[in-house]
Amino acid sequence: MRRHTIPPRKDWQRAVERVGLTYHTLDDGSPYWDESAYWEFSAAEIDRIEAATAEIQRLALAAGDAILERGLLEQMHFPAAMAQRIRETWQSEPPALYGRLDLAFDGRNIKLLEYNADTPTTLVEAAVAQWYWLEECFPHADQFNSLHEKLVAKWKDLEPYVSQPVYFSHDGGDEDAMNVTYLRDTAQQAGIRTEAIAMREIGWDRAQNRFVDLKNQSIRTIFKLYPWEWLLNDAFDEHALATMNSLEQKPVTGKVQWIEPIWKMMWSNKALLAILWELNPNHELLLPAYLDGPGKIQNYLRKPLVGREGAGISVFRNWAEEESAAKANPLDAKAAGGGYVYQAMASMARADDKTAVIGSWLIDGEPAGIGIRESDGPITNNFSRFVPHLFH
């Protein structure tokens, strides 16, 4: 595993814009998509990452069963109404699509940092932009990247289980818009009819107890790039729970299928890290993690149970706070009930004063490729850059 620096393509902005990566530059003018460097892996290292991803997914599935069997949803700060739907959808297995593990890999050890199971992004970068970069710059190299093919195949598998049109929705900026546009395109390539709608445009028909689009048509299946924690703090939260198709895999009249399903909250909640460690102590792919404090861990990260892009994370060395990220979104903090997980610090890949985190993607629960984010410090946040990769 080595980091190389190279000159970017002269027209790199236009090159990535052509494939949908319109948010390639940060607000300060520096590149978010950074092709002045790339990470090179050996085929054996890629095999290790793929195997580790599959093993962590196996552990997460077992943890989901344990959470429900042991009644741990309350410990994860889920209200009773929400917990009921989580339990029901876990058992009925409604349509689900994808997720992303964030991994630390220093060339020797692979460790799970967290599981982005509900609203993972960087999909345009990982599935499309870095693939076209590889074909243009290193046509004889390979890349761990079967994301596009697996997404289209998964939508084909889901076709009998969804109501058409499938709605695609978000309420964010350019990044969310393009990730949703790309996912919608993969569904269309699978032959599924789709519609786009903003979360704020979804209406509630009080007379008929249904969610509707701008044409007053019923919404029966919807993919949302919008965290469940936010949705369940919105004005229509009770309606979302009451009309959820939580007991059946296939569409039910008067009910709504949400993709990703609400059970994904069990994995996107960082209490999962402590539960995994309790169930699998000293597992080679896990870091020590606890909910009641750091214990004997001297160097650790304190993470809010719910949060994205590094929000609310603090770094402690010798039990003293060294660095703190931006405050968590108020909705995140409210949903998490103020809880934290304390996770041991991992050995990270570092080169040229950059720290790399590997985002390892799963489609239908199967490893499908990786993307790499680089930060100046130990916390991956909104300013972390995406750097392509290859292997030989």
Give pLDDT tens digits for 327-376: 545 555 444 556 899 999 999 999 999 999 999 999 999 999 999 999 98
Q: Which of 315, 320, 328 is nearest to 375 (CA)?
A: 315
Stretches where the chain sits below pLDDT 50 are 328, 333-335
- Tens digit of each residue's pLDDT (9 = 90 or more) over 39-62: 999 999 999 999 999 999 999 999
Q: How far apart are CA 179 and CA 185, in angstroms?
A: 10
Q: How far apart are CA 340 and CA 124, in angstroms?
A: 31
Q: How far apart are CA 99 and CA 114, in angstroms?
A: 11
pLDDT reported for residue 338: 63
What are the structure tokens assigned to 148, written together? 């596009």
pLDDT reported for residue 324: 62
Contact criterion met (CB below 8 Å) for 221 and 166: yes
Domains within the chain, CATH numbers bracketed = 48-95+140-264 (3.40.50)
Residues whose CB is less than 8 angstroms from the CB of residue 247 and which lie 6 or more positions away in sequence, other chains included: 88, 92
Please report, as a single letter, which amino acid is at residue 219.
I
Q: Tell if the pTM clears 0.85, that is, is over it.
A: yes
SS3 61: helix
What average pLDDT is seen over the chain? 94
Contact criterion met (CB below 8 Å) for 162 and 134: no
Q: Helical H runs in the chain?
A: 12-18, 43-69, 80-92, 123, 130-137, 147-158, 174-189, 228-231, 237-242, 265-268, 271-279, 330-336
Question: Beta strand 194-196 with 166-170: parallel, antiparallel or unpaired?
Answer: parallel
Q: Which of 141, 191, 152, 192 is nearest to 168 (CA)?
A: 192
